[in-house]
Amino acid sequence: MTGGATAGVDIGGTKIRAAVVTPDGEVLASATAPTPSGGEAMLDVSADLVARATASAGTPVAAVGVGAAGVVDPGTGEVLAASDSFVAWVGTNLRAGLASRTGLPVTAANDVDSFLVGEATWGAVRGVRSAAGIALGTGVGGALWLNGALYRGAGAAGEIGHMPGFGDARCTCGQRGHLETLASGRSVERRYAELAGGGAGDVGATQIEARARAGDRTAVRVLADAGRAVGSAVLVLAALLDVGRVVVGGGLARAWDLLEPALLARIRDEPPVSGHTVEVRPAVLGGDATVVGAAALARSGL
């Protein structure tokens, strides 16, 4: 690992953000733009944002790290699989594409992997040898930090969003009963509409959170169900990997105080067989976690 600033890029479904990050995790400057359609266009925007953030920071960067939605091959940097909402994204080579556009070394990873690296380096799981990360957004993502390092497998390690055993609702992947059908922002919206009846209208996850805080029982129920489902997933992670801590982030995690009681109750119901307590904490880096983690990955590759 070397000194000097690096750039981190967060490529999401609605926006792309690039930031210049110091070795101690400070974001010096950032730039954001809407996510365009198509892999090449997304790389063009990403490179432009790196240039803009670097100019704003007034300091050069030694490398670029990118955290992107989808399954990313850890060896090549190619996107192997992604949601259908991303047009011409599968097959895009993040490493080669950004390197050719920026002239800098590039490290590529999944966005939740980058999120967990950020939280492990400067956030809620800093100093923990083995941990897991769960991101509750439009979908549900996961990542693993084992023996002090990111564990990626073939690119999809820790992706618990498509773990089965959570009912019979159809998932966005076409299968049924995955964790994502209960614990994602999209599923919370769907379940609220179903349970509240025809008068509910088109209500987003943020509005559902507000209604839960105002005492709406249906809103409270769907968020509690989401928390309980995440608790079950945490128990699986603890049983398989004996992780000591799990960090939860993503847009839906802003309702942490509404998710946490049912989540922790589920863990208390069936504590890990090891007898060790598994801690579950909300993310502390907020929207910076992915860019900070991606920048840290870039630095580790130098």
6-30 tens-digit pLDDT: 999 999 988 999 999 999 999 999 9
Q: What is the DSSP string of 255-272?
A: GHHHHHHHHHHHHHHS--
Note the pTM of the prediction, 2 decimals: 0.93
Average pLDDT over residues 218-238: 97
In the chain, what are the helix, strand and coil shares in percent, each to the nearest 5? 45, 20, 35
In the predicted model, is pLDDT for residue 3 greater than 90?
Answer: no
Helices (H), 125-215: 180-183, 185-196, 205-213
Residue 14: phi and psi, rounded to 5, are -115, -25
Place of tokens 């800093």: 126
pLDDT value at position 302? 66
Asked which of 31-40, 41-50, 163-172, 272-281 is least confident by mean pLDDT, the reply is 272-281
Sort strands 15-21 and 6-11 into parallel, antiparallel or unpaired.
Answer: antiparallel
pLDDT value at position 201? 66
Residue 200 pLDDT grade (very low, low, confident, very high; cuts 50, 70, 90): low
DSSP state letter for 87: T
Single-letter amino acid, residue 48: D
| Nearest residue to 143 via CA among 290, 296, 295 | 290
Q: How far apart are CA 184 and CA 182, in angstroms?
A: 6
Asked which of 79-83, 96-100, 177-181 is least confident by mean pLDDT, the reply is 79-83
Instruction: Please give the structure tokens belonging to residue 30.
Output: 């950032």
In the predicted model, is pLDDT for residue 164 greater than 90?
Answer: yes
Place of tokens 């603890």: 238
The distance from CA 87 to its chain's CA centroid, rounded to whole angstroms, is 20
18, 31 Cβ separation under 8 angstroms: yes
Average confidence score pLDDT of the chain: 94
In the predicted model, is pLDDT for residue 63 greater than 70?
Answer: yes
Sort strands 149-151 and 140-146 into parallel, antiparallel or unpaired.
Answer: antiparallel
Residue 93 pLDDT grade (very low, low, confident, very high; cuts 50, 70, 90): very high
In the predicted model, is pLDDT for residue 199 greater than 90?
Answer: no
DSSP state letter for 78: B
Helices (H), 109-216: 111-122, 180-183, 185-196, 205-213
